A and B are shown apart, each in its own frame.
Chain A
Amino acid sequence: QKEVEQDPGPLSVPEGAIVSLNCTYSNSAFQYFMWYRQYSRKGPELLMYTYSSGNKEDGRFTAQVDKSSKYISLFIRDSQPSDSATYLCAMSYYNNNDMRFGAGTRLTVKP
């Protein structure tokens, strides 16, 4: 079983739709939960992070962590064509350099 599971998609939605991206994980020791966005031919960039359980909102983006279910989500409201990218979930342990990524979900937002 992989430490982090993420549906690779692809996912295609019309502009303005609400997008839901999800990951599950197996290691309950993870404490930090991140979402990275990767545009084509670029390196990943940090979009949002959450420490432990709970929700976090930043503009059109909301990250949710449910540690009891080992499940994290990223919601994108009012999706835009510029949101078209691959979204990678990532997790790390407290006070540790290592980070484990999901395989990424490729999202296309059509005008």
Chain B
Amino acid sequence: DAMVIQNPRYQVTQFGKPVTLSCSQTLNHNVMYWYQQKSSQAPKLLFHYYDKDFNNEADTPDNFQSRRPNTSFCFLDIRSPGLGDAAMYLCATSTGPGQSSYEQYFGPGTRLTVT
């Protein structure tokens, strides 16, 4: 089945220790997104890639970076995690603007704990 895969499902890191979360997709979608979702809050868009074009949300902290080496993979790097970065991180994909872009396909998420 075509899908969005996130690894790991659970990640524990220490305060200030860099961490990388990964996402892969078999849908061959042009757009990949990273969202941060804290408990009982809306998913907050951090950034997205349309093919290789990177789009950063204005309020995404510099501490968060992303890489998309190819169509299938996208990485979220947190350079110096703080306690406030503990959250569920969701990866999603869509086909692109004007092409059912309202439908995003989500992975199961990575729950990040910062100790």
- Please give, as numbers and ranges, the residues of chain B lying within 8 Å of A45 by CB-CB distance: 106
Interface size class of A (residues with CB under 8 A): 20 to 34
CA distance A100 to B33 in the complex (A): 12
- Please give, as numbers and ranges, the residues of chain A lying within 8 Å of B109 by CB-CB distance: 41-43
- Given A96-B97, A97-B97: A43 and B42 interface contact (C-beta under 8 Å): no
CB distance from A21 to the nearest CB of B (A): 14
Within 8 A of B (CB), among A61-111: 88, 90, 92, 94-104, 106
- Please give, as numbers and ranges, the residues of chain B lying within 8 Å of A13 by CB-CB distance: none
CA distance A103 to B43 in the complex (A): 7
Map CB proximity to B onto A1-42 as digits: 1 under 8 Å, 0 otherwise. Answer: 000101010000000000000000000000010100000011
Chain B CB count within 10 A is highest, among A8, A32, A49, A98, for A98
Q: Tell me if B102 and A43 are in contact (CB < 8 A).
A: no
- Given A88-B43, A104-B42: A43 and B92 interface contact (C-beta under 8 Å): yes
- Please give, as numbers and ranges, the residues of chain B lying within 8 Å of A49 by CB-CB distance: 102-103
User: Which B residue's beta carbon lies closest to that of A104?
Assistant: B42
User: Which B residue's beta carbon lies closest to that of A39?
Assistant: B108
Q: Tell me if B42 and A103 are in contact (CB < 8 A).
A: yes
Q: Tell me if B102 and A97 are in contact (CB < 8 A).
A: no
Interface size for B (C-beta < 8 A) is 26
Of B40, B92, B101, B108, which is within 8 A of A8 by CB?
B40
User: Which B residue's beta carbon lies closest to that of A42?
Assistant: B108
User: Which A residue's beta carbon lies closest to that of B109?
Assistant: A43
CA distance A42 to B3 in the complex (A): 13
Which positions in A face B, CB cutoff 8 Å? Answer: 4, 6, 8, 32, 34, 41-46, 49, 51, 88, 90, 92, 94-104, 106
Which positions in B face A, CB cutoff 8 Å? Answer: 4, 31, 33, 40-43, 45, 48, 50, 55, 90, 92, 94, 96-98, 101-109
Given contacts A49-B102, A95-B101, 11 further A-B contacts (CB under 8 A): A32-B101, A41-B108, A42-B108, A44-B43, A46-B102, A46-B103, A94-B98, A97-B31, A97-B96, A104-B42, A106-B40
